[in-house]
Structure 1
Amino acid sequence: MSNKLYINRLYIENFKTIDKAVISFEDQDITVLDGPNGFGKTTIFDSIELVLTGQIKRIQNFKVAVTARGYRDYLFAKNQNKPVVVKIELKSIGEDSSKKRVFARRIDPTKLRSTGKKPFEFNYELHELNTIDDEMTVETVTNEQELEKFFKVNDFIDRYSLYHYVEQEDSSHLFKKNEKERIEVISKLFNIQKENEQKEKLDTTRRVLRRKLRDINKDIEKYKGFVTEKDSDADRTFTQVEYIKLLPATSKKPWDSEKLNNLDKVKKDTYISELNQIIKFKKYFEDYIKQKKNNNISQVIANKGRLSALIVLGFYNEEFETFKKEYETNNNLKRYLKVLEERSILTSYINWDIIFETLKLKTDKQLLIDRIDHIKSLNKTTNNLSNTVRQLLEARESLKNQFNNLISSKSGSSNDQNCPYCGQDWKSFKELEEQMEQKTIEIQQNLDQNSNKVVEEINNLYSAIIKDIINQLDSYLSDDSRIKDDFFLQLQEYKNLGIDVNKAKLFLDNIGIISEEYYNKEKKIVSDLEERTNSFVSDLESRMQNTEEFTRDNFKLLQEIFINTFNSDFKLVEKIRVEDIELKKLYIENAFYDQSNWFFKELQKLTIQRKKLDSICINLDGIIEIYTKKINQYRGTMINDLEIPFFIYSGKIIQNHQRGIGVFIKQETNNRDEEPEVKAINFVPPEETDHDIVHSFSSGQLSATVLSFTLALNKVYNQSGLNTILIDDPAQTMDEINMASLVELLRNDFYDKQIILSTHEDKISLYMRYKFSKFGLRAANINVKQELYEY
């Protein structure tokens, strides 16, 4: 474009805090927007950005509210009942300096729904007017493409923020992108958008074709299993076989279905193999039954303990609980007998109900219990010494009784004259008895009155009742008809093995063994249990039958077929004929070859498709490789063009910092070719490091770097026609030295640009205008507070 475009005038109405204003930048090389913070300097920059790009980037990028909620008011309208209007007049400087173009944007808050009032929703109408004073109508509406056509550049929105406008807030957005994202942003500057889009389409096409190729390869591999060897089956003749169902309807065997879909070679061979196994099962079925009995007998023999249990328990299994109850009763009676004999009735527990019920005693049980309770109450009032003496007397009496029983059992007479207490030899048993009685009288002298009464009552009770009970208990427990301890304990030992006697008897009956012949039928311990058990084992071994080696080796397989295929049904095994199984095999073979023919044709089609797709993908790989290499090489060349101006400008503005002067653009390249192929870029200080300046620079240094990069981009790549650079308050983050350097750079290298710059410091404003004026450039200031708010 031979003509350069400048911003001539700006019209703002009902935008943010501004009612209405017309700001003129006419015939000025630099215009400084000055005045205190908060009075509209950034608002002017926002209005310019809004009308030229249709958005305010910093608000668009930072969405605080992410929900779908709406808003009652529209952020950018001062008066919610009036439209927001922003117009810009662009003037050509050059061959046709009188030519002006006016673009405007308008939005009416009253026509917006609550969700349309979100701060990041910029649904402004774009208009093109003849003059800045014209009204916007339906006829003046235009589109974004018209604006870009006017600037003769694509992606003007991205280019505007990269080399026309440096924001006050978060101006380092480019530097905060990762290395590869930076490449994508900068690529738009290099006018290779069309090539990138073409490469993307090629990449997308290749991905689609590759996906289709993978699907075809999967189908080919799948179909191969459904196709038989063509040569070996070319002369095959088919015999039509009628479908018959071998197994009941409840069976889930897939080979027994009429429709055998997706029957590949693996499935077919599996089905045929299973049917062949069933044929063998039929052949060896009777042998299998014999082997099954042999295995069952072997399992029984392997557990001799259970055979021993059957011998011990077989006859008495039903009576075990009765025996158990009798055994427990006898043990209780033995314990109570000992208490009675030891005369410990006052201190030991006796269940008199069991004694009276077992012996069928005619004595008054309640009278006996009452007398014992009476003696216990007397015993509570005796002193400790008397208790001790009484217990001694009871012990002597118990020992005496036991001694008399011993004498009686040995000889039937009282001839033993040895003392039962000390063993002394007396002249006669009568003399022994007299001496024992005399000693008892001497001991009794130590008893108090109550203790004598207790002893007397116990002696009377024993004489009247308890001695008779002792004799009856002794007689009852000595009866040979009572269950013996060793017999019951043997029963209990084998009962704990948990053998099912009835089930065992049924099994033995089935193999011809009469189990009762081995049962113990006497109520006494089986002393020859080992011999009986071995005899039982020999009988079992004699019942085993000879079977085929195949049956023995494949018993588990035959058993699985019997259970899973025939559901352990003997009748079903007899019903299914081998001839029917052979017909089933033939039916499956026919079904496979019918499907194989169809799959073979499909496989041929897929193979042809795969060959074509392979060829196309190979060609695409080559084309995309060329595109990628050339695009990256072009990026590398363009970055090389940008690198020197950027290094010079960053060095001038930042001056000296702790890591050197200036900033370099470091390229991550692939050096296999003569020209570099750029993959990513870093911004680094002039020293040996891979670390980006984002990690080491201060906010002021980053801001200065952003300014340098923007100015370098503008100098090298600006072909949009817009000859304006806008900088929003650089003094916010830069010190005086950096500001002085910036002014010198703008004055010397960008004297041919329209510069619109803001500052909140009056001395900075005066300094910049003075410097530009001294250089013969036109400089002016606009005090935004006076211009926008003071009338």
Structure 2
Amino acid sequence: MKSNIKKLTLENFKAFHFYEFKINSNNLTVLDGPNGFGKTSFFDAVELLLTGNITRYASLEADTVDGRSTVKGSPLTYDLSLPGTEVSISAEVETGNGIFHLRRSAIKADLDEGKGLGLNLFKLYISSNNGEWQEVANEAQILEKILGPGYKQNYRLFHYVEQENNTAALKSKGSTKQKKIDHLFDVGDYREKCNKIAAIKNAISKLKTAAKKEALELHKNELSELRQSVSNNTLNAEDIVYERLISATLQPWDLETIDTKPSIISSWLEADGVLNKLKKFRQNAVIFFNSKHNNSIDKSLRPKLQAIESLLRFGGQLDGIADSRKEVMRYDFAKSLTSKLENSLHQPLNLNFEINSDIFNEFNFGLDYKEFISAAASVRSIAESADLVELAYNELLSSRDTFITKFSNTHLKHNSSDCPACGYEWGTRENLLRQLDLHRISLEALVESNGKNLKNSVDEFKTKIASPILKILEHYIATHYHTIEYKRKLIALSEEQISYLQRLKYSYTSYRIDLSRFYCKDFSLEETLKIKELEDEVRLLYREVNYDSIEEYFQEFFEQIFLSDEKSVMQLDIEAINRKHSYLKLAYIRGTHIEIASKEAEVLKLDETYRKAVYLSKALEKLVEIYTDNLSSYISSVAKGIEVLFHVYSGRLLQNFQNGLGIFIETDGKSLSFREHPNKLHDAIFSMSSGQLSSLVLSFTLALNKRYAKNSILLIDDPAQSLDDINVAGFIDLLRNEFSERQIILSTHEDEISSYMKYKFKKHNLEAESIDFKRTLHV
């Protein structure tokens, strides 16, 4: 099928701002220019236009770009293009059905906003008769009309040989190489059916695995056990009636209608099931309650030793705490007042008392608080006055002595008899001195008289007031001295401690223990406590308990089933438990018969499924084998269609190959391999250099193209890069002689090879031209 590209226009695509390639040759067009000037971009543009993809870029993106990257923009856009412009590839394609104008484009702004290549943004358009571009809804239909059926698969297989990884197909596994050319033999649908049958077989095989077989056997064993469990039934349903065991709570096993699974009912009836546990609990209920009684005693009457000591020492006096507090206050008052009185009798100025008037009056001293304070204040006033007079007299005497001394010293040398204070004339100096001395004696007499007055007042206060009070106070202190520390400890108890001791007293009383027999008799902290005697009294309250008969679950049953009600437990009849056992056994038998019927149906279904799976798996396995054998035979026979071509082409390209000319292709329909010799076991790729592998891939591609191509386009990117001069000559001759009806577009960066190719084609009267890419980027 004729399909020639006549014109290719690139706009804002990669390195091209705008360029129109005119391809005038129907045979050979050589893309000239150094590496890096856009020759491979030309082939990328053709691939994107015709297939909607650039395979080498898509693979590179998948292998190297982090999908989490936030970098926006596509590498396919021209760097200096404006945001509102389009990135487009247009072509004029001449076919036997006429000329088609194709265009694939995308908005640059959309590409800039997206991440990655953005190949999905490129839409295909076709030009109508009036020259308007119309978007193609069904690309495959239009492109198959222009390029032939299977154009997408065939394009990279034998219409385009790229520069990168052009030996990848040959280096893949034999089965992979075979799958890449399956569509050439038109066996895709056939192999798809074969794969579907294999998939169905695999799905069915999962129904006949060892695990499924084991599960089936397990269900059969369960069914057998169910039948066995009800085979020895001796119960008479008419003799068994419902009766409720527990009145405190409603238990699932105590219902009249039992809808529970037989396996759960069976668990109720087991040796360690709820009914046998309940029976054992009832049989040992008295022992259990005795243990609870003992535990209650331990909790109530066996507190810590410190609490027992406080109870026995202070428990009998808790009601007298208020009186003890008053007595401690009186005692402290007596001690304080005694100290103050004794001190003030020696120092009358200290007769200033700040004391509790109520407590003072409670002592009955023979005078009340006000009278006492008044008497003390009177003595204190006299003491204060005496102090002031004595101070004034002493100061006057001191001043007089100083004055007389200075006067005498001043008048030693004269005999003046005039008084220096009042001016009175005493006649002689001796009379004057005598009179001054008489005044001193008078002052001293006044000071002595004032002291006697204070002493008399203090003695009177001591005799009439202080001494009687001190006597009463000393008697009180002596009377209460031995009990006061006990009472201090008693009143030091906190409200919490008092409350606790009261509760503890109540607990002992509730058990009819008279604590008064064990309390301290005296208000003494040294009295020996009757702790052991009290413990012996408590020990008499214990009940006999065999703790080996008590199980851990007894407490749980008592709380959850009987709501901690002893009466409900004792009302439970053991024979009633035995009857409940029979009732549940009958419910188990009825439920088991229903389960047996259900289990029989389930086992029947599983068994049928397993047997059918075994049968179908074998049948499908045979069918897959038939399909595979027929497919392999068909492919093997059809593959011979390129065997001769490949052998000839590889021989021309590998003219200096050490093992001779030509490579053999072998396939059994499952695996494809290349042999240097039919008797060789290893693939030829193991003994070839990179250049020879490139020649081999060219040979294989050209053989496929020659035999199976549906259009005349053949694109080869820089084949001379990995070929030596001899191979290049053979390659050009092969293209000229075998592919003269193809439109060949190939690239090279070597001017000599380009000229040689054009020369060889033109000598054969074939069209040949070149496009200088170095010039295109400078237009």
Q: TM-score scaled by structure 1?
A: 0.55
Q: Report deviation, 1:269.
A: 1.8
| Secondary structure at 2:119 match in 1 | coil
Q: Which residue of 2 aligns with 1:231?
A: 228
Matched, 1:160 2:155: yes
**Cα shift readout 1:236-280 (whole Å, capped 9, x = no counterpart):** 3562777666557976x4434667555242553236621232233
Matched, 1:525 2:525: yes
Q: Which residue of 2 aligns with 1:565?
A: 561
Q: Which residue of 2 aligns with 1:263?
A: 261
**Cα shift readout 1:327-350 (whole Å, capped 9, x = no counterpart):** 89989999999999999xxxxxxx
Q: What does 1:350-369 align with in structure 2 at a 5 Å threshold? A: none
Matched, 1:603 2:588: no
Question: CA 1:774/1:248 → structure 2, altered by over 3 Å: closer, same or farther?
Answer: farther
CA distance in 1, matches of 2:292, 2:139: 92
Q: Report deviation, 1:517.
A: 3.1
Task: Point out where structure 1 has 5 or more consecutive residues left out of the alignment.
Answer: 91-98, 344-351, 372-459, 656-681, 688-700
| Greater helix fraction, Structure 1 or Structure 2 | 2
Question: CA 1:218/1:572 → structure 2, altered by over 3 Å: closer, same or farther?
Answer: farther
Q: Report deviation, 1:604.
A: 2.7
Matched, 1:747 2:742: no
Q: Is the 8 A contact 2:30 2:771 kept in 1?
A: yes
Q: Is the 8 A contact 2:94 2:100 kept in 1?
A: yes
Q: Which residue of 2 aligns with 1:769?
A: 755
Q: Is the 8 A contact 2:4 2:94 kept in 1?
A: yes
Matched, 1:711 2:698: yes
Q: Which residue of 2 aligns with 1:589?
A: 585
**Cα shift readout 1:430-452 (whole Å, capped 9, x = no counterpart):** xxxxxxxxxxxxxxxxxxxxxxx
CA distance in 1, matches of 2:256, 2:317: 59
CA distance in 2, matches of 1:41, 1:747: 19
Q: What does 1:89-488 align with in structure 2 at a 5 Å threshold? A: 89=94, 119-121=118-120, 124=123, 144=140, 157-158=152-153, 160-161=155-156, 164-166=159-161, 171-172=164-165, 187-189=179-181, 195=191, 198-199=194-195, 202-203=198-199, 206-207=202-203, 210=206, 229-234=226-231, 236=233, 239=237, 253-256=251-254, 263-266=261-264, 268-270=266-268, 273-297=273-297, 306-316=307-317, 479-480=479-480, 483-485=483-485
Q: Which residue of 1 aligns with 2:455?
A: none
Q: Is the 8 A contact 2:245 2:254 kept in 1?
A: yes
Amino acid corresponding to residue 513 of structure 2 in structure 1: I
Amino acid corresponding to residue 253 of structure 2 in structure 1: W
Amino acid corresponding to residue 698 of structure 2 in structure 1: L
Amino acid corresponding to residue 528 of structure 2 in structure 1: D
Larger Rg: 2
Question: CA 1:784/1:768 → structure 2, altered by over 3 Å: closer, same or farther?
Answer: closer
CA distance in 1, matches of 2:331, 2:704: 117
Q: Is the 8 A contact 2:6 2:92 kept in 1?
A: yes
CA distance in 2, matches of 1:353, 1:708: 128
**Cα shift readout 1:582-628 (whole Å, capped 9, x = no counterpart):** 5654454344333333332332333344344445666788877988x
| Secondary structure at 1:601 match in 2 | helix
| Secondary structure at 1:48 match in 2 | helix
Question: CA 1:317/1:140 → structure 2, altered by over 3 Å: closer, same or farther?
Answer: closer
Q: Which residue of 2 aligns with 1:33?
A: 31
Q: Which residue of 1 aligns with 2:449?
A: none
Amino acid corresponding to residue 261 of structure 2 in structure 1: L
Q: TM-score scaled by structure 2?
A: 0.55
CA distance in 2, matches of 1:310, 1:267: 56
Task: Point out where structure 2 has 5 or more consecutive residues left out of the alignment.
Answer: 345-352, 362-368, 381-457, 658-682
| Secondary structure at 2:520 match in 1 | coil
CA distance in 2, matches of 1:57, 1:730: 19
Matched, 1:782 2:771: yes
Number of matched pairs: 604
Q: What does 1:501-650 align with in structure 2 at a 5 Å threshold? A: 501-525=501-525, 527-529=527-529, 532-547=530-545, 549=546, 552-573=548-569, 581-582=577-578, 584-614=580-610
Amino acid corresponding to residue 544 of structure 2 in structure 1: N
Q: Is the 8 A contact 1:206 1:620 kept in 2?
A: no
CA distance in 2, matches of 1:139, 1:508: 103
Question: CA 1:260/1:684 → structure 2, altered by over 3 Å: closer, same or farther?
Answer: farther
RMSD: 6.9
CA distance in 2, matches of 1:226, 1:319: 82
Q: Report deviation, 1:564.
A: 1.8
Q: Report deviation, 1:534.
A: 2.0
CA distance in 1, matches of 2:87, 2:302: 105
CA distance in 2, matches of 1:613, 1:210: 11
| Secondary structure at 2:532 match in 1 | helix
Q: Report deviation, 1:572.
A: 3.5
CA distance in 1, matches of 2:534, 2:693: 103
Q: Report deviation, 1:757.
A: 2.5
| Secondary structure at 1:255 match in 2 | helix
Q: Report deviation, 1:727.
A: 4.0
Q: What does 1:611-760 align with in structure 2 at a 5 Å threshold? A: 611-614=607-610, 711=698, 714=701, 720-721=708-709, 725-728=714-717, 743=728, 746-747=731-732, 752=738, 755-758=744-747
Q: Which residue of 1 aligns with 2:54?
A: 56
Question: CA 1:314/1:101 → structure 2, altered by over 3 Å: closer, same or farther?
Answer: farther
Q: Which residue of 2 aligns with 1:667?
A: none
Question: CA 1:782/1:311 → structure 2, altered by over 3 Å: closer, same or farther?
Answer: same
What's the % identity of the aligned pairs?
19
Q: Is the 8 A contact 1:151 1:721 kept in 2?
A: no
**Cα shift readout 1:632-655 (whole Å, capped 9, x = no counterpart):** x99xx99xx9xx99xx99x999x9
Q: Is the 8 A contact 1:566 1:573 kept in 2?
A: yes
Q: Is the 8 A contact 1:16 1:43 kept in 2?
A: no
Q: Is the 8 A contact 2:205 2:617 kept in 1?
A: no
Moved more, 210-219 or 610-619: 210-219
